[in-house]
Amino acid sequence: MKNQDISSSIDWITILLYIILVVFGWMTIYSVTVPPDQEYTFDFSLNYGRQMIFMIITIPIIFAILFVDSKIFERFSFVFYGVGIALLLGLFVFGVSKKGQTNWYQFGGFGFQPSEFVKTAVALLLSKYLSDAQVNLAKRNFQYIAFAIIGLPVFLILMQPDAGSAMIFLSLIFVLFREGLPGWYLWTGAIAIATFLLALIIKPIFLISFIGVFMVIHYIFNRLISRNPIVYGLIFIAISSFAFSVSYMYDKVLEPHQKDRINVLLGKDVNMKKEGYNLNQSMIAIGSGGLLGKGYLEGTQTKGGFVPEQHTDYIFTTVGEEWGFVGNLLVMSIFVCLFIRILYLAERQKTRFSRVYGYCVATYLFTHFFVNIAMLIRLFPTIGVPLPFFSYGGSSLWAFTIMLFIFIKMDANKVNEW
């Protein structure tokens, strides 16, 4: 594609949604981090000033992506993946520990989190692999390779340890499902999660009894389609064994902070001045906004600094306090429009590589969005997942920008695909 034609081929709707989210995100960061008594001067040493610098740097990044040959991303996908893995390995030697996690490189006053960028590398290599005409995810040998592509960075990130980032990579199973992975993988994962949580609430013997009755009823109503009773028995034994092992895993395997997060999620007794403090304050801030909010720069919880990490993981609480339910709904609607737009563009791609990559982008962004919002309203444990384009941080902003604009470039180039 000729560079002079690119403006007529790129999807401006996606770019507009991106700009709106980035600008609104910066406004929210400004509200959180500007000192209450500061006069109308711009301070680049504060977080809102630094975020502005990060935003300015995205401009040459965007132009660089839009004006390179889109085939580069497919041709060198393995190289990008290899560099990403090398960066993750390098953390064990050169990484800096923050809050018990060694997931950052530090260069002077600048921090760099490689796991954010590795998401794009994994998406590119996975898309390259799945675009091979011989790959059939219904066959196990192809499944294992796809799992390995995702699993290697997940293992390295869990070693940091950073369970939140690792979980984002695991969401790519939905992309594999879209491309032909058998559905029992999803069912197995969902049942395992549900069994784990229920076993912490209900005594295992009662839980197993309920599961047994359910499986008997299920078998009776489905035996006309040749359901094998042996398979039912094996499934029941597997679920029962897992349910009885939950208590051991909870007590002996999970770290104290992980137990606290699960306790908060399950509504168990927690100390609201310690492990439950962040969630409690975030819910107070969101609830205090009411329908229309207190007004921009007028949030008392925000200005009082009551919510920790409010410019990063808990940034959405500021939207709720200052803009109210209407503001929350508006921001969420913009995100949903972006997700739908990416999925729409992915479905109209002419190559499987571009389509799979588009689904990877949509999955990453949606998972970040869903988990970040859900953990603020007690639907998910607090695991430190930033809100795309909103949360403070150069690594997060640049990584999401690169990820999105690579797909925008692919979509712009579809007129040359056959």
Residue numbers of the chain with a pLDDT score lower than 50: 1-4
Q: Strand 101-107 vs strand 110-112: parallel, antiparallel, or unpaired?
A: antiparallel
As a whole number of Å, the end-to-end CA separation of the chain is 14
> CB-based contacts of 259: which residues, under 8 Å, 6+ apart?
250
Q: What per-residue confidence (pLDDT) applies to 3?
A: 46
pLDDT, one tens digit per residue, over 161-207 is 888 888 899 999 999 999 999 988 888 888 888 888 888 888 888 88
pLDDT, one tens digit per residue, over 232-273 is 888 889 888 988 888 888 777 777 767 777 776 676 655 555
Q: What per-residue confidence (pLDDT) applies to 374?
A: 86
* Residue 179: strand, helix, or coil: coil
Q: What per-residue confidence (pLDDT) applies to 1?
A: 46
* Residue 39: strand, helix, or coil: coil
The partner residues of 111 in beta bridges, in order of sequence, read 106
Q: What per-residue confidence (pLDDT) applies to 217?
A: 84
pTM over 0.85? The answer is: yes
Please, is 220 exposed, middle or buried when counting C-beta atoms within 10 Å of its C-beta (0-12, 13-18, 19+)?
A: exposed
Q: What per-residue confidence (pLDDT) applies to 375?
A: 83
Q: Backbone dihedral region of 226: left (phi > 0), alpha (psi from -120 to 50 degrees) or beta? A: left
Percent of the chain with pLDDT over 90: 44
* Residue 401: strand, helix, or coil: helix
pLDDT, one tens digit per residue, over 371-397 is 989 888 777 777 778 899 999 988 999
Q: How far apart are CA 207 and CA 97, in angstroms?
A: 41
